[in-house]
């Protein structure tokens, strides 16, 4: 089982005057096999929340569980992919992908079989012996995704994985990730600032308020699968996007102290203060 449960999670970073409240009372559940995305205004704590699930940060309050197991540190049951590729430049594509397997002393023959399968899945046949310096940004991120999948984690945690890519490469990577997810049905928690990306990929989108981050909306995305770029041109997709945009826009104005000046007379989504689904 691979169900992610956050229960009243709170995060305060130490500092003067009592510290900085980054996340406040967040409870949400990503069901087994579900693709969940987190969006919100800049600085709302999206990455902090993902790092808490990854066990890289300990919350000030509340709990995070993978099914019934308390998360209290990093583990091979959670594969993580970051915006920076975090590849070892002195290792080949194959050696980067099998790194975690080697740490676990998986036999060489098994490591090769796993890496061969993943290299094929991410479309890097012929590059097994190449080094990161010879790869494009999109190819590096494909290696990073393959490395995260090599340990067969129960969940995949992705923090703006395509944020550094050009627009066309980003589209290709979104299509690749959809294909990989359709095959594996891993539980995924995906952080992005790109609302189109969140809607295209996800079963459910969680919208956070501006700092301190609180859960403003849980929005199930009931678009048919499999999805493609054509999905983004549908009226239903546009309606989801407008609903999310209005909440984030309002939160951004509030964070900047410009609500009275720029927000007057503009439509707002009443669903922004409620959880849906």
Q: How many residues does the chain have?
A: 277
Q: How confident is the model at residue 266 (pLDDT cuts 50, 70, 90)?
A: low
Q: What is the pLDDT of residue 274?
A: 43
Q: Does 111 have pLDDT greater than 90?
A: yes
| pTM passes above 0.75 | yes
Contacts of 68 (CB under 8 A, 6+ apart): none
- Beta carbons of 170 and 137 less than 8 angstroms apart: no
CA of residue 35 relative to chain centroid, distance? 9
The whole-chain average pLDDT of the chain stands at 90
239 token code pair? 């309606």
Domains and CATH numbers, the chain: 4-77+153-273 (3.40.50.300)
Whose tokens are 């919350």? That residue is 59
Q: Residue 218: is it exposed, middle or buried by C-beta count within 10 angstroms (0-12/13-18/19+)?
A: middle
Q: What is the pLDDT of residue 245?
A: 94
The Cα–Cα gap between 199 and 178 comes to 12
Across the beta sheet with 4-13, the strand order is 20-30, 4-13, 61-66, 69-70
For the segment 166-199, what is each residue's pLDDT rounded down to a tens digit? Answer: 999 999 999 999 999 999 999 999 999 999 999 9
The Cα–Cα gap between 152 and 238 comes to 35
The Cα–Cα gap between 255 and 189 comes to 25
The Cα–Cα gap between 147 and 132 comes to 13
Whose tokens are 């590729």? That residue is 85
Which whole number is the average pLDDT over 213-237? 94
- Whether cis (ω within 30° of 0) applies to the bond prior to 212 is yes
Which whole number is the average pLDDT over 26-54? 95
Which whole number is the average pLDDT over 118-136? 95
Q: How confident is the model at residue 83 (pLDDT cuts 50, 70, 90)?
A: confident
């Amino acid at each position: 089982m691979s169900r992610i449960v956050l229960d009243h999670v709170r995060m305060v970073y130490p500092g003067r005057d009592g510290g900085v409240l980054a996340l406040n009372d967040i409870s949400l559940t990503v069901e087994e096999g579900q693709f969940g995305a987190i969006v919100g205004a800049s600085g709302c704590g999206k990455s902090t929340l993902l790092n808490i699930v990854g066990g890289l940060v300990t919350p000030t309050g509340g709990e995070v569980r993978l099914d019934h197991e308390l998360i209290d540190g990093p583990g091979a049951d959670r594969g993580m992919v970051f915006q920076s590729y975090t590849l070892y430049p002195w290792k080949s594509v194959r050696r980067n992908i099998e790194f975690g397997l080697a740490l676990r002393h998986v036999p060489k023959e098994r490591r090769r079989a796993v890496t061969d399968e993943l290299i094929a899945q991410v479309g890097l046949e012929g590059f097994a012996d190449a080094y990161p310096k010879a790869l494009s940004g999109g190819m590096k991120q494909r290696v990073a995704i393959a490395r995260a999948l090599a340990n067969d984690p129960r969940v995949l945690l992705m923090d703006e994985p395509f944020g550094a890519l050009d627009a066309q490469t980003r589209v290709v990577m979104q299509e690749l990730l959809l294909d990989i997810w359709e095959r594996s049905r891993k539980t995924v928690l995906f952080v992005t600032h790109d609302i189109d990306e969140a809607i295209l990929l996800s079963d459910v989108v969680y919208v956070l308020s501006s700092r301190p981050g609180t859960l403003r909306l849980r929005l199930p995305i009931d678009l048919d699968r499999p999805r493609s770029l054509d999905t983004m041109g549908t009226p239903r997709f546009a309606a989801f996007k407008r609903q999310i945009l209005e909440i984030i826009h309002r939160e951004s104005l509030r964070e900047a102290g410009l609500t009275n000046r720029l927000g007057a007379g503009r439509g707002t989504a009443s669903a922004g203060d409620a959880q849906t689904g």
